[in-house]
A = this chain, B = another copy of it.
């Protein structure tokens, strides 16, 4: 009987889990207003101010004395102080002056506004795309047209553009105010995913029209947690996916585009900086391949009374293992944490090796340059420096310390190490090794099904690896 009563009570609650007390329109930016209709989600959303550290993630609240230029009294720990090798690797670029562990969504706007990187370099309005609730601002600036507004704000000086926004990411950036359906509001992703799909032979893909619900549970995150660059004088935010999403295709894209983020002062190498490619790396992992979305782990369902809601306190799943992992993995919390650490510790060790190799190459190149050796002598080594640094940075910048795709992370670091050491050898006159291509053609197709893997029912077998043993090429073979 108890259960019965219990259930019927809940029935009541559940019939209307929330009351629409306010009308939400496509202009309602303020999350507090949305919160009136959805208090549970709003509560979680607000908790992203919490700062708790995990072995490699979360963040640490570091007190500082506010200044006029930077009123923040608390920031996250500095990654540059944690590992000074980063200063050598990024020398001459804004990141070498200030780079911190990232923290919760609540801080995104102030952290961007006040980072030292704003002072050592003139940043464009483009930056706001991923640090503020720009959806309404874009549409206003574009006279109703999202893309037009995007193009208008991008080239403005940051301070100018900053005036157009007031909130960090808000409900409206991921939800349709009428239906609460998930949706993509970011031009960068709309265009990036279209290019990526085109590379797979799918013409003019419209994510809000063509994506499945389960895909959107990751795509809303892919709006920002991706590698990017500013294209041309218009500073158009661009996701380098036209060749595909693997580090190899992204590097190929940049090579074609002839793009460089900065030139290393001591080595003279035109370098690329990778940023937070969580979406790209997740995409190469077993979880994406199994249809597991970002939200499954970072916004797991939680029960509140008779309702089951998505935990809007977006954070490290290691702070919420029970809900984030244990529905699918029936192991204890400590064991699951240990499994993550095994993958992360391994990535961390290889990352250290790769940094040593890249730093060694930098010193060798610098010495050669000071010694006045002609550019022709340095060309080969610089080419290798450029790629080794990007591959290292791709994993260094990815925020799961390898967890999202452990095997792929290790492969990328192994390639980085090889190229950096070959660079040192090139300076010593060794012929560049006729080694395997950096991009194992084999992997692209094999990994492709994962690309936006959501349907477990229709998995596709990989093509035979270009590099596989002569007699073993046939995909037909078991």
**Chain A residues near B (Cβ < 8 Å):** 52-56, 58, 60, 77, 82-83, 286, 289-290, 316, 318-319, 321, 330-332, 334-335, 337-339, 341-343, 345-346, 348-350, 352-353, 356-357, 360, 364, 406-408, 410-411, 413-415, 417-418, 421-422, 424-425, 428, 430, 433-436, 440, 442-443, 446-447, 449, 456-457, 459-462, 464-465, 467-472, 477-478
Question: Please, which residues of chain B bring their CB within 8 A of the CB of A468?
Answer: 55-56, 345, 348
Closest to A329 in B: B290
Chain multiplicity (copies): 2
Question: Please, which residues of chain B bring their CB within 8 A of the CB of A436?
Answer: 349, 352-353, 356
13 A-B pairs in the complex with CB atoms less than 8 angstroms apart: A53-B471, A77-B471, A319-B478, A331-B459, A345-B468, A349-B465, A352-B435, A352-B467, A356-B434, A356-B436, A357-B435, A421-B424, A428-B430
The 7 closest A-B pairs by CB, nearest first: A335-B459, A421-B421, A410-B410, A414-B414, A349-B440, A345-B442, A428-B428
By the criterion CB–CB under 8 Å, are A469 and B428 in contact? no
Q: Choose one: B286, B331, B418, B472; the contact of A417 (CB below 8 Å).
A: B418
Closest to A408 in B: B346
Question: Please, which residues of chain B bring their CB within 8 A of the CB of A425?
Answer: 421, 424-425, 428
Closest to A464 in B: B55
Question: Please, which residues of chain B bring their CB within 8 A of the CB of A345?
Answer: 440, 442-443, 446, 462, 465, 467-468
CB distance from A346 to the nearest CB of B (A): 5
Q: Choose one: B331, B364, B422; the contact of A456 (CB below 8 Å).
A: B331
Closest to A333 in B: B478
Q: Choose one: B413, B422, B442, B469; the contact of A83 (CB below 8 Å).
A: B469
Q: Choose one: B337, B342, B440; the contact of A478 (CB below 8 Å).
A: B337
Question: Please, which residues of chain B bring their CB within 8 A of the CB of A335?
Answer: 449, 456, 459, 461
CB distance from A434 to the nearest CB of B (A): 8
By the criterion CB–CB under 8 Å, are A338 and B407 in contact? no
Q: Choose one: B364, B414, B424; the contact of A350 (CB below 8 Å).
A: B414
Contacts A337-B461, A352-B467, A471-B82 known; A343 to B407 CB distance under 8 Å?
A: yes
**Given A56-B468, A342-B443, 18 more contacts at CB 8 Å?**
A77-B471, A289-B342, A330-B456, A332-B456, A332-B459, A335-B461, A337-B461, A338-B459, A338-B460, A345-B446, A346-B408, A352-B435, A352-B467, A353-B414, A356-B435, A356-B436, A360-B433, A421-B424
